Copies of this chain bind each other. A is one copy, B any other.
Amino acid sequence: MAAIIPIPLPQNSYNVVIAAGELSALGTWMTGEVMVGQMGKRALLVSNPTVFAHYGETALASLRAAGFEVAHHLIPDGEQYKTLDAIAAIYNAALAHRLERSSVMVALGGGVVGDMTGFAAATWLRGISFVQVPTSLLAMVDASIGGKTGVNHPQGKNLIGAFHQPRLVLIDPDVLATLPEREFRAGMAEVIKYGVIWDLGLFERLEQSAACDRYDRTSPDLLHHILVQSCQAKADVVSRDEKEGGLRAILNYGHTLGHAIESLMNYEGIVHGEGVALGMVAAGHLAHRLGLWSGAENQRQQGLIDKAQLPRQIPPQLSIEAMVDLLASDKKVKDGKVRFVLPTAIGSVTITDQVPGDLIGSVVADLQVPGGS
């Protein structure tokens, strides 16, 4: 069962391959027809120690078998190492392995590895090729597609970055077997997001599924469906708007407030998907209270978030004032106004900067009361 989803862009089209068990054929895919354009045979595989322990040798062996002269570089595991210093270390590895303009960097890991490898590839020799091999559900359905790359500034997530499209994305669902459960659920938050903003069918299939909170309780068929539909949704959006001029902003559904919460918690005790889940719950309430979304559909969203065992209460220690203040410094702010993506029906959203500040405060406060909302 292999699906190939094309990402058509004006200048840098590429394919997303979803195929169980195909990590061991990475090198073959990278030299095959799905790989757009030509490239050389020097490669640098970037990963983290955890992922590399599971899948590094398989990936390296596959690349070598396909004729690549490959070295590897490991970056420490965790969002706190998503820094310019860690990028400098990738540059050093690129230099040591004498990467040329025709060479390729391969990101084997989750979102952090993908974002950093992509940024290093975007900025080494003014841009070389890179291939995404995402190993977390979050990276598979979100981070690996669309060309967003970057690192964190001490004062804000992903403030430093570039748009740089991969040449190929290879998704092997089998690698999710070793993903921690919490990370699986966090990825499911983005899957639910695609249901709400774009794909009613996907949303309904998740509602009808026996479970969607753990890899070992998700059938291969359902997982394949989830991956294909999510990647297709992202492909639909980014191919219409490569650099976030307009439509692509809908992908930030749940992210505006989600980022603020993650940031105020210093990215401790919360993972990105959980922030997104909280952001979606808040956005749902905002949309409902603004008269944009029915209470019934808002309830269905909450039901699905519960089913995925994702949080829907904001930690009580967070200052509402600080959160509202932080929103104003979000990089998506335009002319000082906070823009929210709000649902109008399952599968459809609108973007507005007309959300009153006191309503935001009120909704957030409701989500802080234990047992509230």
Which B residue sits closest to A331, measured CB to CB? B125
Known interface pairs A84-B84, A88-B84, A95-B156; A163-B127 also in contact (CB < 8 Å): yes
Q: Could you say which residues of chain B place their CB within 8 Å of the CB of A318?
A: none
Determine which of B87, B100, B159, B332 lies in contact with A331 in the assembled complex, contact meaning CB atoms within 8 Å: B100
- What is the CB-to-nearest-CB distance from A79 to chain B, in angstroms, rounded to a whole number? 18
Contact at A163–B126, with CB atoms within 8 Å?
A: yes
CA distance A122 to B335 in the complex (A): 20
Contact at A100–B162, with CB atoms within 8 Å?
A: no
> Could you mark each residue 237-263 of chain A with 1 if its beta carbon is under 8 Å from any beta carbon of chain B, else 0?
000000110000000000000000000
Which B residue sits closest to A41, measured CB to CB? B335
CA distance A41 to B246 in the complex (A): 20
A317 at the binding interface (Cβ < 8 Å)? no
A10 at the binding interface (Cβ < 8 Å)? yes
Q: Could you say which residues of chain B place their CB within 8 Å of the CB of A64?
A: none
Determine which of B40, B98, B156, B161 lies in contact with A123 in the assembled complex, contact meaning CB atoms within 8 Å: B161
Q: Could you say which residues of chain B place their CB within 8 Å of the CB of A100?
A: 331, 333-335
A205 at the binding interface (Cβ < 8 Å)? no
Contact at A162–B162, with CB atoms within 8 Å?
A: yes
Q: Could you say which residues of chain B place their CB within 8 Å of the CB of A331?
A: 100-101, 125
CA distance A162 to B127 in the complex (A): 6
A65 at the binding interface (Cβ < 8 Å)? no
Which B residue sits closest to A156, measured CB to CB? B95
Q: Choose among A124, A125, A153 the residue with the greatest number of B CB atoms under 10 Å from its CB.
A: A125
- Which of A's residues lie within 8 Å of B, judged by CB? 10-11, 40, 84, 87-88, 91, 95, 98, 100-102, 119, 122-127, 148-150, 153, 155-156, 158-163, 243-244, 329, 331-335
Closest 9 CB pairs of A and B: A126-B161, A125-B331, A123-B162, A123-B160, A126-B163, A126-B162, A95-B155, A84-B84, A91-B153
